[in-house]
Structure formats: structure tokens, C-alpha cells
Amino acid sequence: MYLQHFGLRELPFSLAPNTHFFLNMASYHKAYNMLMVSLVNAEGFIKIVGEVGTGKTMLCRKVLNTLEEDKENYVTAYIPNPVLSPKGLFLAFAEEIDIEIDQDVGHHRLLKAITEKLIEYSSENKQVVLFIDEAHAMPEQTLEALRLLTNIETEQVKLFQVVLFAQPELDVLLSKPSLRQLRQRITFSFQIEALDREGTERYVVHRLATAGYNGPFLFSRRALDCLFRASAGTPRIVNILCHKALMVAFGRGERSIQIAHVRSAAEDTEGIKIPANNYMPVFITLGGLLAGAAIVFYFGRFSL
């Protein structure tokens, strides 16, 4: 692999949501702060929405890790695959908050066990937070069951909070009249945006430095321009293209990443449209205008 060739300790553009590479960009910074403030204030449902590959799972892991370091005050539950029946969701939640119960247990007894455990944590002044990733994939019936589950509360406080991470399809799902009660319980929501051109450059520099690179800037400006246009600032696509561009450069024995390497990476990646050279359209247009002017001038002389 190219690690030694470029002086890296580890792969800088892995697709795994490794919080070691978390970059506190404006969008993520705002989302992270909003989440932490909402959790401290014990709000109800919190919703984080973003397009595919914009870093929702990375943000989710970052918040999870922060809360897990504060075991005196928080108990966390994490469900990465919520394509579950209502009972399947309850069983998954029960397992996450350390309830040992038979899978064949009846609904009433399962709900009672969850309630008793939540009250136990509340008596210890511990706040329970349920994180659900890919929440847009949840069946409508399961979403409604989740809302009913949050009705478990004391006279003073709700016994647990829910944070939903999802693609924009969740907003479409929540617009249904049948889910209006759940929609009304979402006290905070945030939209994660893709990176802009400057953000894409910072992202690349940060991941390379975190992976141990300390040489001259590895990507040329034109390579970064091409990378931004090809990826549209989507972090996952940036990772894929950068990894492949590094492989191409390594295979050619070259020490820096040029536009040709990024274009080769884009050509090798399904669903990526290779951006045209910025200067080509201008060149063709000017060339066409000059050629046209020359033709008009030439034939104009003989028409006089």
C-alpha cells in the first residue's frame, strides 16, 4: 500500500466512522453543540438529517463517545439498524440498557421491564439517551411505537431521550398525518450540509495530518478543484476519490497528487461524473469566436 511511500502511519481516507479523524467544521460544530445542549436540557426527540455520505454516523459516534466518557451521568443505547418491528425495537433497546429478558417475553412484561430499568437509572440521576442511526429506514408502525415508548416518564422528567440520525427521507415520512404526534415532539432538528470548496481542502489536509503526513502539501490546487467538483463536497466520496488518487500516484511512483490522478480515481468510481476542465470551455468559445471572425473578415473582403 502507499503508506510508506507518502510517510503515513495509517490510511487517511478509510470509510470507517473513526472519530479520531473527526473535523470540527462549522456544520458539524453547530450540530455537535446543539446535540450536547439539547441533551443537557433533557429535551425530547432530536433529529439530525443529512444526505448520504455527509458524516451523520461519524457525528453520532462522536456524541456517543463523549457521553460514554461520562458514565456517572449518562447511559447510552445505540441501534444502527432500525428496520425492526415494534417489539424488535423494544427488545433491542432493552438489551442496550442491560436488561436480561427472554426474546419470547410478552409485550406487557417487556414494557414493564424497560420502565423499571429506566426508573432505576433515574433514581441514580443517570440520563438515558437512545441513538438511532438510519432512522429513515424505520417502518412507520415502529416509529409510532417509539413515540409511545417515550410516554414513560415521571411527574418531573422524561425517563429517556431519543436522537434520530437519518437521510432526508425521514422528513418525508414524518410529514404523514399519521405521524404528526411524533413530528410535534421533535424539539430540535439540524441539517448537515456538504462541504464547500474551502471545507473540502481543510478536510483533506486534516485527514492527512491526522494520519501522520507532515510533508509539503500533497494535493495540487487543480487536483483539489477537480476533487471538489467530482465529489460535490460529500465526505464519503472525497474519501473514496482521495484513496484511489493516492493509489494511482503510488503506482506511478509519483509523490504528489495532480488533477490526472483525481480524474483517474473518478473514472474508476461508479456514479461519479468526471468534471470537465474549467479552462476548456473558455478556450473553445474564444477559439470559435476568433475563427468565426476570421471567416467573416475573409469572405467580407471578397463581397465588397
Query: pLDDT tens-digit profile of 137-156?
Result: 999 999 999 999 988 876 66
Q: How would you write the chain as a 3-class SS string? A: CCHHHHCCCCCCCCCCCCHHHCCCCHHHHHHHHHHHHHHHCCCCEEEEEECCCCCHHHHHHHHHHHHHCCCCCEEEEEECCCCCCHHHHHHHHHHHCCCCCCCCCCHHHHHHHHHHHHHHHHHCCCEEEEEECCHHHCCHHHHHHHHHHCCCECCCCECEEEEEEECCHHHHHHCCHHHHHHHHCEEEEEEECCCCHHHHHHHHHHHHHHCCCCCCCCECHHHHHHHHHHHCCCHHHHHHHHHHHHHHHHHCCCCCECHHHHHHHHHCCCCCCCCCCCHHHHHHHHHHHHHHHHHHHHHHHHHC
Residue 302 lies in a domain: no
pLDDT at 15 over 70: yes
Residue 303 lies in a domain: no
Clarify whether residues 39 and 152 are in a common domain: yes
Residue 183 lies in a domain: yes
Q: How many domains does the chain divide into?
A: 2
Range of the domain at 64: 26-192
Residue 300 lies in a domain: no
Percentage of residues in the chain with pLDDT exceeding 70? Answer: 89
Residue written as cell 421491564?
Answer: 113
Clarify whether residues 139 and 52 are in a common domain: yes
157: confidence class by pLDDT, cuts 50, 70, 90: confident
Clarify whether residues 38 and 139 are in a common domain: yes
Clarify whether residues 13 and 97 are in a common domain: no
76: confidence class by pLDDT, cuts 50, 70, 90: very high
**pLDDT by residue (tens digit) across 224-272?**
999 999 999 999 999 999 999 999 999 999 999 999 999 999 999 998 8
Q: Pick the last residue of a domain from 150, 168, 192.
A: 192
Clarify whether residues 158 and 106 are in a common domain: yes
Mean pLDDT of the residues in the chain: 87
Compare 89 and 104 and report the one with higher pLDDT. 89
The domain spanning residue 257 has which CATH number?
Answer: 1.10.8.60
Residue 248 lies in a domain: yes
Clarify whether residues 37 and 179 are in a common domain: yes
Clarify whether residues 66 and 167 are in a common domain: yes
Clarify whether residues 34 and 141 are in a common domain: yes
Q: pTM for this structure?
A: 0.84
Clarify whether residues 242 and 225 are in a common domain: yes
Clarify whether residues 212 and 96 are in a common domain: no
Residue 286 lies in a domain: no
